[in-house]
């Protein structure tokens, strides 16, 4: 009887066999093993595959890797990118009924007042793009950046919206876009994880680890959080007193005994385990090395505003909002790390910076006082990242994405106070139109894409959905967003969802 | 017809290639249906919205129906059958499946369809929907038969010690001791084997081990999920599962109690706890979320989980459209959903409805404290009365006022008693105004006194206010007016003072003219209180005069006086003294406060388990179809029904969750016993007979041995749904006992052990990996049940937004509890367990896909749990003997159980020797490693002890140790 290979079965087999014979990144010990096994005629009968070896893209790629900068909490587009003089005219007047009818807000109650943009805008670069005074460094490299002012989402709470943006589903259980990309393309450097996550701002984003979870994809594709305090990867460091030589001797003994077990049992999983211990041992060296930004020359550190070894107080604070300082370099350090990681072959680097939820309802979360601090923490670092990648010739092959999970309302949030008070000026969640930007590989720099109405409330031209963005990211990386799928629970699961609504934004491609 | 001729020529090569297999008849369900469902049903299947060309290939009549002289399938006539023509067409516009669908049918598959049509196109249902028919023969006979077809036979049995370890790890998730294994080997016989199995099945650790499998399915976790991911008390449910499994509760009862324990007649507390199964759904506490959205999401999760767990089918797709592959329509989904859509829970912050679950100790403690509080309140009232009577308060200076008329604006009844106190009873509105008319005799009056006197509630407790939940009062304003025949004159009060006032609610606020402020007495609201007010001008009356006193109590929440008395005085106001705090009163008050604190501490600790509760009949929800799954866009109302695709199920208003439970374990239901038997087999062999444990539908894998599956399913169903009995049947078989060694030829013929050609060899589950290390080190606690614990994890992992709870590494016994008891926070699960593929409990996890990654190596090498285990194992080894080889032998045997091979200790003995000499040169390193592993060298020199820790660390990382074989 010929066994029928259903799609589900095929997937399981390719996804769960984790043997590393064909890996290009094997150490000497494992190579020796491999030849030993070949002699036994074993390897020949074991067609095996490393799930993370680089794979051919499905279509011609425009970029090879991604650095995604997520500003968790959602920055205000009306203070950063979308200049609306009309709001100034109507400042502190009641919002028109059309803003409110049939709408549900997270915190706004009753009839809120219109809030003018709190900062000034000017045109920059050859492209003449409009950028806020809060982002003076980004303004200098704006010709590299495609600003999309008409992104919309259909979620207006943080956790579901973050999940929707990163996994294509507002509920838990989906696979993160970084997992999708690593599943589709593998990773270049086998000594480092293929999908790395870096956090700043003192807290995990609202939706937690699920944002970089592999969901229904095999768990090898989940994001590995690299930390800047403690072990950069959990359990990476040997205990005090265990030096490299001791560890090496111990692993050699372990390998010897495991080989003997393999001779007895004949189970290829044992060989995989030996290889994984070797890989772990190499990661113990390679990860701290790549994570050590103190190796960077001073001018590069300055370019980002990075400070090696800095431990932010916000990291251990009960409420980091009270501690935001403009010169906190945690995010800058992460941007520099992102460059080092992609330079070393990591496929997808995801940064989350917490602290952008500027409701104005309590101290340390306002548009007028906190937003400038958050901009100060990130502006130089982001511009530095673009400049650095450009100088190294990496910008053309690296896609950079910046944004939050939604935008902020043109109205002032009024649930706590309805008058203007310093340190308490805020805006509520706004899913209907907000700004994200992309730069680098495959993206038309200097383009201003999409227009919102005079209040910045709705898109009036070139509306862009989250699905469109996801489709575009996959397309740029050479993954056909409609063909690229994984069969799970009877459905061909795709990042862009079950319908064909997501479209590749051809207009913004270089 | 010209078209067909052309086709036939093209087909020739393919046809001759596979003609060799033609001897064996084609099975529709096995060979044809999976091809059709994978390639055709998306457009020619159950989903009416996607259907193309009005053709269904999932329904026999439709597939064989002639339209314009043609039919997709013409029995006996493959060349007349359109399906063959279209599948073999070279025209991109005609070929099926169409190129843009990405689907492709192989020549072998087309050949199978062709032969099936030629053989008469006999139709069958999808294999898993056909009734379970118990085949003849035993497990071994059926497996041997299947192996024989491939020229294989059962492998010889594994060694007795290996079997001792295998059985123990499989049945209780813990290793035996080498002594137990040796004893088992010495007296090895079919009888002692059976005894060993029985002993394991009876062990309380059995339930702890198998509960883990069930809790994955039940999406159990200790937190609510989403942004805040706050804690909730689900652990009594986890303990219920452990107990149910230990008691071998039959599956039908196990099902009924969890799905509908609350609907059982005279439901016990345990049966209601069981319903927490479906309260494991997540809840979103993020600000501004729509509770209805997340309530609906939870109900849908219950529907999906139920069908997935019991029937192995995916319902998810039918939320938005009819299932493309399996017979579950969009209507079916919402009719079934309607049954689950009638429970009270609604994504509320407090997770209501909840059930209070007290431990026996908590129960007696709480009763004792409650009794003590009641006693103290009465003692205090007596003591205060005594202090006033015999103290210096000069009670004789006051004259209680006789009230001529007492009225409440909100309908309460005011009754004066012989002591002139006025007891308030009857109607109790949120606020009230008491209006009292009095007649004062001629004379001079200097002050007015208001006494708030505790009254008894129905439960026997005291309180000065009328709300039993908060027996405080707020006197917003007290106004005294002189009512003459033709005028009403307000009499001003001043110099308010009282024995006690609540923070922010001073007695002066009762005469400030503002009803938003007032006098209140929390937290001392079960004691008597007194307030004095002086008349601004002494009241001089020449004759009897009518006064009106108005007590406005406008706060709300029923904070109104329960019992009070008004008095006047003629004395000099400075001589009027408030009741003092006698030492006795103070002592009683302190004790009362302390007792109340203990009581509230207990109340905080008491587990409040979210449970299922049906809405009352008059509050039932109307269920409508959610268009494309969107709960905001609802269509027509639906009537409740079970899934119609699996047998006759008429809409019936009386259907409840209990009906669902009965239907799932109905003797006629072919899916439940197959799904369960397969699940158990997979745990013991590393792979299911149906590999896709989660999908028994058209897209799932076909069973590798259908007879074996049906045998097990029938045994389970007909054997009283006893899990222990099923397990015993399997582990007593020769198939189970086979050695797990893999030869090159076996690797070739059955690489994945899909046909059970050997014993299973696979990496242990996450929890067993950790528990085994702790057990071998002698650290594992045997404590069963109770709240979840926090063994060490790396600092700084819990960073959830707006969630104050912190992880504090446990010390003592809780550091070494079984992993089942580790606190599981959905957004930040215990990292070393997730690295070994444990889930987060966010959604139902049918099986864990085993991975083998470098991060796992880092866990067992460096996680403090394993380091402490290494130090403890080192201690056991050095305590065993003075001889290095004997120590290694002991350590290896503790870990591997089996007798050692010749020379097997040598590499470890060598390692220990080398490491020792290195540590001897660098004692600070030795000290550091001992310290980080919390080792205790005792008398032993540090370099030597540290070298044993490294050796033990190696043992705990052996592939064989991490593997069940």
The pLDDT tens digits for B210-251 are 999 999 999 999 998 877 888 999 999 999 999 999 999 999
Average pLDDT, chain A: 86
Q: Kindly report the number of other CB atoms within 10 A of residue A11's CB atom.
A: 17
A-chain residues near B761 (CB < 8 A): 265, 267, 269
Residue B5 reports pLDDT greater than 50: no
In this predicted model, which residue has the larger pLDDT, A459 or B226? A459
- pLDDT, residue B800, reads 58
The reported pLDDT for the residue numbered B802 is: 57
CA distance B947 to B925: 11
Residue B311 DSSP one-character state: I
Which tokens is B698 given? 């058209």
Q: Is A235 on the interface with B (CB under 8 A)?
A: yes
How far apart are the CA of A136 and the nearest CA of chain B, in angstroms?
30
Chain A closest-CA separation from residue B477 CA (Å): 30
Q: What is the DSSP letter of B70?
A: B
Q: Is the pLDDT of residue B4 over 60?
A: no
Interface contact B862-A270, CB threshold 8 A: no
Handedness of CA B315, B319, B324, B326 (dihedral sign): positive
CB B796 to CB A236 under 8 A?
no
* Main-chain dihedrals φ then ψ at residue B903, nearest 5 degrees: 75, 5
Q: Are B500 and B546 in contact (CB under 8 A)?
A: no
Domain ranges of chain B: 2-124, 157-202, 359-391+580-605, 392-574, 864-964
End-to-end C-alpha distance for chain A, whole angstroms = 53
pLDDT band at B853 (very low <50, low <70, confident <90, very high): confident
Out of B324, B743, B954, the one facing A250 most closely (by C-beta) is B954
Q: Do A8 and B701 touch (CB under 8 A)?
A: yes
The yes/no answer on whether domain B392-574 falls in CATH 2.60.120 is yes
Q: DSSP state, B223? A: B
Calculate what percentage of chain B has a pLDDT beyond 70. 94
Rounded to an integer, the average pLDDT of B328-337 is 89
The answer to whether B430 touches B549, Cβ cutoff 8 Å, is: no
A269 contacts B35? CB cut-off 8 A: no
- For residue B717, pLDDT over 90 is answered with yes
- Strand B634-637 vs strand B519-520: parallel, antiparallel, or unpaired? unpaired
Q: Can you tell me the mean pLDDT for A471-495?
A: 88
pLDDT at B777 over 70: yes
Instruction: Indicate if the pLDDT at residue B444 is higher than 70.
Output: yes
Instruction: Decide if the complex's ipTM is over 0.85.
Output: no
Contacting A residues, span 388-447, partner chain B, CB-CB under 8 Å: 429
For residues B242 and A340, what is the distance between their CA atoms, to the nearest angstrom? 49
Q: Is some CB atom of chain B closer than 8 A to the CB atom of A171?
A: yes
Residue A13: is its pLDDT beyond 70?
no
CA atoms within a 13 Å half-sphere pointing along the CA-CB vector of A328: 26
Residue B297 vs residues B282, B332, B354: alpha-carbon distances, Å: 9, 18, 19
- The reported pLDDT for the residue numbered B804 is 60
Partners of residue A279 in chain B, C-beta under 8 Å: 854, 857
* Residues in chain A within 8 Å Cβ distance of B695: 8, 489-490
Is pLDDT above 80 for A239? yes
Residue listed under structure tokens 């079970």:
B642
**C-alpha–C-alpha distance, residues B171 and B164, integer Å:** 11
Check if the beta carbon of residue A414 is closer than 8 Å to that of residue A405: no
The confidence score (pLDDT) of residue A39 equals: 34
Q: Does A489 touch chain B (CB under 8 A)?
A: yes
> How do residues A343-368 score in pLDDT, each as one tens digit?
999 999 999 999 999 998 878 889 99
Ordered by where they begin, the domains of chain A are 65-229+311-508 (3.40.720.10)
Is the predicted pLDDT of residue B17 greater than 80, yes or no? no
Is the confidence at residue B403, as pLDDT, over 80? Answer: yes
Q: Over chain B, what is the mean pLDDT? A: 89
pLDDT band at A315 (very low <50, low <70, confident <90, very high): low
Instruction: Give the rounded percent of residues in chain B with a pLDDT score beyond 90.
Output: 62
Task: Give the integer Cα–Cα distance in Å for B711 and B730.
Answer: 11
Residue B200: per-residue pLDDT:
98
**A429-432: long-range contacts, CB 8 A cutoff, minimum separation 24:** A429/A74, A429/A105, A429/A106, A429/A107, A429/A156, A429/A157, A429/A158, A429/B288, A430/A156, A430/A406, A430/A457, A431/A152, A431/A153, A431/A154, A431/A155, A431/A156, A431/A161, A431/A406, A431/A407, A432/A152, A432/A407, A432/A457, A432/A458, A432/A459
Helix extents (H) in B265-416: 269-274, 291-306, 330-340, 360-390
The greatest distance separating any two alpha carbons of chain A, rounded to the nearest whole angstrom, comes to 83
pLDDT in tens, A249-276: 999 999 999 999 999 998 888 988 998 8
Q: What percent of chain A has pLDDT over 70?
A: 88
Using a CB-CB cut-off of 8 Å, the residues of chain B touching A235 are 794, 832, 855, 858-859, 861-863
| pLDDT of A281 over the 90 cut | yes
| Pick from A431-440, B314-323, B516-525, B757-766: least confident | B314-323
Is A243's Cβ below 8 Å from some Cβ in B?
A: yes
**Average pLDDT, integer, range A421-437:** 94
Quick: pLDDT tens for B43-84.
888 777 777 878 888 888 888 888 888 889 999 999 999 999
Flag whether pLDDT at B925 surpasses 90.
Answer: yes
Q: If pLDDT is split at 50, 70 and 90, which confidence band does B101 have?
A: confident
Residue B11 has pLDDT above 50, yes or no: no
CA-based nearest residue to B332, from B360, B311, B362, B357: B311
The answer, yes or no, to whether residue A26 has pLDDT greater than 50, is no
Q: Which two tokens stand for residue B480?
A: 């005294």
Please give the Cα distance from B352 to A333 (Å, whole number): 45
**pLDDT confidence of residue B207:** 98
Q: Which residue of A108, A198, A242 to mutate against B (max B Cβ within 10 Å)?
A: A242
pLDDT at B370 over 80: yes
Place of tokens 């023969």: B137
- Whether residue B497 is predicted with pLDDT greater than 70 in this model: the reply is yes
- Name the residue facing B702 among A4, A18, A316 (closest C-beta): A4
- Least confident piece of the model among A458-467, B111-120, B208-217: B111-120
According to the model, what pLDDT value does residue A32 have? 39
Confirm or reject contact between A208 and chain B (CB < 8 A): yes
A30-34, A189-193, B275-279: range with lowest mean pLDDT? A30-34
> Chain B contact for A241, CB < 8 A?
yes
The predicted pLDDT at position B898 comes to 96
For residues A84-101, average pLDDT: 90
Shortest Cα–Cα distance, A375 to chain B (Å): 21
Mean pLDDT, rounded, for A326-335: 93
What is the per-residue pLDDT for B390?
58
**A210-244 burial string, b = 16+ CB within 10 Å, else e?**
bbbbbbbbbbbbbbbbbbbeebbbbbbbbbebbee
pLDDT-derived band at B325, boundaries 50, 70, 90:
low
Using a CB–CB cutoff of 8 Å, tell me whether A70 touches chain B: no
* CB–CB contact B840 A210 (8 Å): yes
Residue A454, helix vs strand vs coil: coil
Higher pLDDT, A6 or B633: B633
- Segment B169-215, tens digit of pLDDT: 999 999 999 999 999 999 999 999 999 999 999 999 999 999 999 99
């Amino acid at each position: 009887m010929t066994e029928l290979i259903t799609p589900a079965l095929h997937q399981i087999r390719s996804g769960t066999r984790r043997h590393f014979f064909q890996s290009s990144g094997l150490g000497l010990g494992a190579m020796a093993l491999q030849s030993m096994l070949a002699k036994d005629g074993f390897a020949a009968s074991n067609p095996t595959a490393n799930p993370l070896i680089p794979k051919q893209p499905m279509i011609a790629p425009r970029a090879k890797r991604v650095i995604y900068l997520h500003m968790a909490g959602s920055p205000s587009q009306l203070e950063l990118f979308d200049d609306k003089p009309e709001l100034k005219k109507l400042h502190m007047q009641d919002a028109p009924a059309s803003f409110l009818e049939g709408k549900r807000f997270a915190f706004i109650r009753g009839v809120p007042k219109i809030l003018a943009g709190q900062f000034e805008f000017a045109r920059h670069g050859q492209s003449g793009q409009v950028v806020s005074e809060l982002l003076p460094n980004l303004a200098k490299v704006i010709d590299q950046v495609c600003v999309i002012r008409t992104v919309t989402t259909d979620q207006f709470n943080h956790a579901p919206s973050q999940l929707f943006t990163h996994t294509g589903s507002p509920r838990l259980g989906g696979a993160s876009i970084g997992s999708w990309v690593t599943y589709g393309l593998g990773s270049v450097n086998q000594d480092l994880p293929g999908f790395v996550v870096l956090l700043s701002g003192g807290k995990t984003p609202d939706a937690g680890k699920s944002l970089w979870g592999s969901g229904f994809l095999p768990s090898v594709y989940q994001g590995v959080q690299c930390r800047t305090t403690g072990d950069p990867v959990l359990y990476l460091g040997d205990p005090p007193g265990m030096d490299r030589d001791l560890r090496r001797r111990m692993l050699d003994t372990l390998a010897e005994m495991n080989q003997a077990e393999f001779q007895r049992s004949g189970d290829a999983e044992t060989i995989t385990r030996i290889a994984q211990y070797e890989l772990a041992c190499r990661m113990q060296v390679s990860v701290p090395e790549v994570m050590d930004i103190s190796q960077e020359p001073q001018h590069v550190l300055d370019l980002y505003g990075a400070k090696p070894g800095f431990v932010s107080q916000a990291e251990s604070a009960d409420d980091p909002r009270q501690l935001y300082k403009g010169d906190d370099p945690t995010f800058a350090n992460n941007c520099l790390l992102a460059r080092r990681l992609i330079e070393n072959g990591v496929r997808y680097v995801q940064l989350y910076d917490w602290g952008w939820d500027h409701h104005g309802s309590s101290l340390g979360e306002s548009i007028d006082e906190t937003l400038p601090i958050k901009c100060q923490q990130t502006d130089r670092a982001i511009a530095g990242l673009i400049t650095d990648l450009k100088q190294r010739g990496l910008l053309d092959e690296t896609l950079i994405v910046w944004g939050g999970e939604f935008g902020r309302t043109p109205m002032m949030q009024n649930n706590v106070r309805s008058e203007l008070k310093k340190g308490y000026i805020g805006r509520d969640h706004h899913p209907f139109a907000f700004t994200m930007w992309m730069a680098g590989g495959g993206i038309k720099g200097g383009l201003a894409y999409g227009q919102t109405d005079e209040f910045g409330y709705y898109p009036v031209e070139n509306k862009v959905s989250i699905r469109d963005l996801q489709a575009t990211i996959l397309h740029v990386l050479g993954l056909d967003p409609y063909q690229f799928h994984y069969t799970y629970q009877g459905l061909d699961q795709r990042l862009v969802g079950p319908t064909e609504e997501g479209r590749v934004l051809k207009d913004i491609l270089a | 017809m010209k078209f067909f001729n052309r086709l036939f020529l093209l087909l020739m090569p393919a046809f001759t290639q596979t003609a060799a297999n033609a001897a064996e008849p084609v099975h529709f369900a096995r060979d044809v249906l999976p091809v059709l469902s994978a390639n055709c049903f998306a457009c020619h299947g159950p989903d009416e919205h996607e259907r193309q060309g009005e053709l269904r290939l999932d329904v026999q009549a439709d597939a064989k129906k002639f339209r314009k002289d043609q039919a997709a399938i013409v029995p006996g006539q493959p060349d007349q059958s359109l399906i063959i023509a279209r599948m073999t067409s070279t025209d991109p516009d005609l070929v099926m499946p169409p190129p843009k669908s990405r689907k492709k049918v192989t020549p072998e598959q087309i050949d199978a369809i062709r032969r099936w049509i030629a053989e008469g196109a006999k139709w069958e249902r999808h294999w898993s929907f056909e009734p379970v028919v118990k085949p003849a023969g035993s497990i071994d006979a059926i497996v041997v038969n299947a192996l024989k077809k491939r020229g294989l036979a059962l492998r010889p049995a594994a060694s007795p010690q290996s079997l001792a370890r295998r059985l123990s790890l499989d049945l209780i998730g813990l290793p035996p001791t080498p002594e137990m294994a040796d004893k088992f080997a010495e007296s090895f016989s079919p009888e002692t084997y059976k005894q060993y199995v029985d002993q394991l099945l009876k062990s309380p650790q059995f339930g702890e081990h198998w509960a883990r499998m069930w809790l994955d399915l039940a999406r159990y976790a200790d937190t609510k999920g989403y942004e805040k991911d706050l804690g909730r008390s689900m652990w009594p449910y986890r303990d219920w599962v452990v107990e149910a499994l230990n008691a071998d509760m039959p599956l039908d009862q196990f099902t009924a109690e969890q799905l509908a324990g609350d609907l059982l007649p005279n439901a016990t507390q345990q049966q209601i706890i069981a319903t927490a199964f479906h309260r494991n759904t997540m809840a979103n506490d993020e600000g501004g979320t729509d509770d209805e959205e997340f309530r609906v999401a939870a109900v849908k999760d219950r529907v999906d989980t139920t069908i997935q767990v019991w029937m192995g089918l995916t319902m998810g797709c039918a939320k938005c459209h009819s299932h493309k592959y399996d017979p579950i329509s969009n209507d079916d989904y919402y009719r079934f959903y309607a049954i689950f859509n009638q429970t009270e829970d609604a994504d509320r912050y407090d997770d209501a409805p909840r059930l209070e679950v007290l431990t026996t100790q908590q129960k007696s403690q709480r009763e004792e404290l409650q009794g003590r509080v009641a006693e103290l309140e009465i003692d205090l009232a007596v003591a205060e009365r005594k202090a006033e009577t015999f103290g210096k308060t000069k009670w004789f200076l006051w004259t209680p006022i006789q009230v001529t008329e007492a009225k409440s604006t909100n309908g309460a009844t005011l009754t004066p008693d012989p002591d002139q106190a006025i007891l308030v009873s009857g109607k109790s509105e949120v606020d009230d105004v008491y209006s009292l008319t009095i007649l004062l005799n001629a004379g001079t009056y200097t002050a007015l006194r208001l006494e708030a006197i505790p009254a008894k509630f129905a439960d026997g407790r005291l309180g000065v206010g009328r709300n039993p939940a908060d027996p405080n009062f707020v006197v917003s304003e007290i106004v005294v007016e002189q009512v003459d025949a033709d005028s009403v004159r307000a009499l001003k009060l001043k110099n308010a003072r009282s024995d006690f006032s609540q923070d922010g609610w001073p007695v002066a606020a009762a005469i400030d003219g503002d009803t938003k402020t007032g006098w209140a007495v929390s937290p001392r609201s079960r004691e008597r209180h007194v307030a004095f007010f002086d008349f601004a001008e002494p009241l001089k009356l020449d004759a009897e005069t009518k006064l009106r006193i108005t007590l406005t109590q406008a706060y709300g929440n029923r904070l109104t006086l329960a019992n009070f008395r008004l008095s006047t005085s003629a004395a000099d106001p400075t001589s009027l003294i408030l009741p003092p705090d006698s030492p006795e009163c103070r002592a009683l008050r302190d004790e009362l406060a302390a007792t109340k604190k203990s009581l509230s501490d207990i109340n905080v600790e008491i587990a409040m388990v979210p449970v299922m509760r049906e809405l009352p009949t008059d509050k039932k929800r109307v269920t409508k179809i959610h268009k494309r799954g969107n709960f905001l866009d609802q269509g027509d109302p639906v009537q409740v029904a079970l899934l119609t695709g699996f047998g006759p199920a008429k809409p019936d208003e009386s259907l409840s969750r209990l009906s669902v439970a009965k239907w799932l374990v109905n003797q006629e239901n072919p899916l439940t016993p197959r799904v369960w038997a397969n699940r158990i087999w997979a745990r013991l062999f590393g792979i299911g007979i149906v590999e896709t444990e989660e999908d028994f539908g058209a897209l799932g894998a076909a069973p590798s041995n259908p007879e074996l599956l049906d045998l097990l399913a029938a045994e389970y169903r007909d054997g009283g749904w006893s899990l222990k009995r099923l397990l015993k049947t399997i582990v007593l078989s020769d198939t189970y006992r086979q050695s797990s060694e893999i030869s090159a030829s076996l690797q070739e013929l059955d690489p994945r052990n899909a046909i059970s050609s050997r014993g299973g060899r696979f990496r242990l589950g996450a929890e067993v990996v950790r528990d085994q290390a702790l057990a071998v080190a002698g650290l594992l606690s045997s404590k069963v049940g109770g709240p979840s614990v926090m063994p060490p994890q790396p600092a700084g992992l819990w960073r959830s937004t707006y969630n104050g709870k912190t992880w504090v590494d446990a010390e003592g016994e809780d550091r070494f509890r079984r992993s089942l008891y580790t606190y599981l926070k959905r957004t930040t699960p215990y990292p070393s367990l997730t690295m070994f593929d444990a889930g987060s409990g966010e959604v139902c996890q049918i099986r864990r896909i085993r991975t083998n990654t470098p991060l796992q190596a880092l866990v067992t090498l460096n996680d403090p749990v394993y380091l402490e285990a290494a130090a403890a194992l080192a201690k056991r080894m050095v305590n065993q003997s003075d001889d290095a080889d004997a120590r290694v032998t002991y350590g290896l045997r503790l870990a591997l159980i089996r007798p050692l091979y010749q020379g097997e200790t040598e590499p470890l003995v060598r390692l220990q020797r080398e490491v020792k000499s290195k540590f001897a040169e660098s004692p600070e390193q030795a000290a550091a490693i001992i310290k980080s592993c919390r080792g205790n060298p005792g008398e032993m020199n540090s370099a030597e002890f540290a070298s044993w820790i490294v050796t033990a660390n190696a043992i705990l990382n052996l592939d064989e140790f991490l593997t069940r074989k």
